[in-house]
Chains A and B, each alone.
Chain A
């Protein structure tokens, strides 16, 4: 079974702090990595994707990938209450063109 693991949380941070969300995956052949945000009762929304080792920044969001450690993370700087949501890590595992395997998600709460 090719798995994607996330700490389910909840992760609670104060407004303005950095939120750090982590994800590990079991398949070394995994090629692309995605972070989705899902508000309660809504559908997932793509925040970022990364497929090369290192950091990728987009506004307040930074995705970090370390393929040797099979680890991908998402940093949210200057966290806002509107960032409160479940964050889903998704991986395109090796040998699968179409399929994304999702982790169970981490619930983030940003306190005003």
Chain B
């Protein structure tokens, strides 16, 4: 299994809703990432988990809350989002904490906040 699986693929939520994005990998990778990508922009790092511990938070607003329940799963909990948070949310993983061979990205969740 060489995939990173993200669910759902599309999500529309209101500004008062609470929702969660899910990411799963079974490659034995020990580092997992959340990136945000706006249209025609490069991906921007949000969070890094290494060995199931949060190691990097790129000053992300608290309405985004990451969680790593185990080495295969990564969640992103969303609450009270703004329309400007609409974007493609990408999960990625890498074998270890050195990113020597790059990330494997999931197919992404396209989020629309209304």
Contacts and interface: CB of A to CB of B under 8 A. Distances in A.
B50 interface: yes
A interface, size bucket: 20 to 34
Interface in B66-114: 88, 90, 94, 97-108
Contact of B48 (A32, A42, A99): A99
B17 interface: no
A25 interface: no
B42 A105 contact: yes
A51 interface: yes
Interface string B32-73: 010000000111110010100001100000000000000000
Interface string A23-46: 000000000101010000011111
A90 B92 CA distance: 14
Nearest to A4: B42
A97 B45 CA distance: 13
Given A98-B48, A99-B48, A104 B102 contact: no
- Specify which of B33, B43, B97, B100 lies most central, judged by the most chain A CB atoms within 10 Å of its CB: B43
A46 B103 contact: yes
A32 B98 CA distance: 10
A98 B99 contact: yes
